[in-house]
Amino acid sequence: MKSTRLPIALQQAVMRCMREKLQLANQKLDTTYPEPEINYQQRGTSAGTAYLQYWQIRLNPVLLIENQQQFIDEVVPHELAHLLVYRRFGRAAAPHGKEWRWMMESILGVPPRRTHPFTVTSVQSKTYPYLCECRDHQLTVRRHNKVMRKEAEYRCSHCGTLLRFKSH
Ligand SMILES: [Zn+2]
Ligand SMILES: [Zn+2]
């Protein structure tokens, strides 16, 4: 497993942001919610995930290094808000529903965006170019290997023709 070395100062900035926002929430909500655990084991193209029952936030170290300010400004509050909503409203609340938006906007003071506007190309897995009669397609490594081994065929959902590997 490849691990990404995270500068201590960056980890401290993340913790500082989390603590500030948590303190703000505890003041406004008159609660004493404890600090969640933050770790850096999120992989793939997600910026982070909130593990509700574990009271834990997993952040993507590769994307954190590339998008430090956005993580501090948005990703950390975004995931913290998921935990806070879970504590306050339970599982019934929709992931980015009105409770979450209220938590972000009114309590944490952060614009409630569902997704983060940074590029994820550095962590995207490789895809293979395919063609049909109408457009370009990208197949994942897994699907491409199935086609190569003749275990699967894929059709375009628009024109219905079989996808052909666009080998160069
Ligand atoms: Zn979310
Ligand atoms: Zn097509």
pLDDT in tens, 38-53: 999 998 888 999 999 9
Candidates 20, 66, 79, 151; catalytic one? 79
Which ligand does the CA of 86 lie closest to? 1
Kindly tell me if the per-residue pLDDT of 82 is higher than 70.
yes
CA-closest candidate to residue 63, choices 101, 14, 111, 113: 14
Is the pLDDT score of 2 beyond 70? no
Query: Bridge partners of 49?
Result: 58
**Residue 68, pLDDT above cutoff 50:** yes
For residue 85, what pLDDT is reported?
96
Which-ligand-closest: CA of 163? 2
Question: What is the model's pLDDT at position 168?
Answer: 58
CB atoms inside a 10 Å sphere around CB 24:
14
pLDDT value at 1 more than 50: no
Beta bridge partners of 130: 137, 165
Give how far Cα 127 sits from Cα of 39, 99, 139, 143, Å. Answer: 29, 37, 5, 9
Contacts of 70 (CB under 8 A, 6+ apart): 116, 117, 118
Residue 46 and residue 167: Cα distance in Å, rounded? 30
Q: What is the pTM of this model?
A: 0.72
Ligand 2 ion: Cβ-proximal residues, 5 Å cutoff: 132, 134, 156, 158-159
Which domains are delineated in the chain? 8-107 (3.30.2010.10), 127-165 (no CATH)
Q: Is 79 a catalytic residue?
A: yes
DSSP state of 122: G
pLDDT band at 136 (very low <50, low <70, confident <90, very high): confident
The string of pLDDT tens digits covering residues 91-135 is 877 889 999 999 999 999 999 988 776 767 677 777 888 999 988
Measured CA to CA, the distance from residue 162 to residue 144 in angstroms comes to 13
Residues 163, 139: contact at Cβ < 8 Å?
A: yes
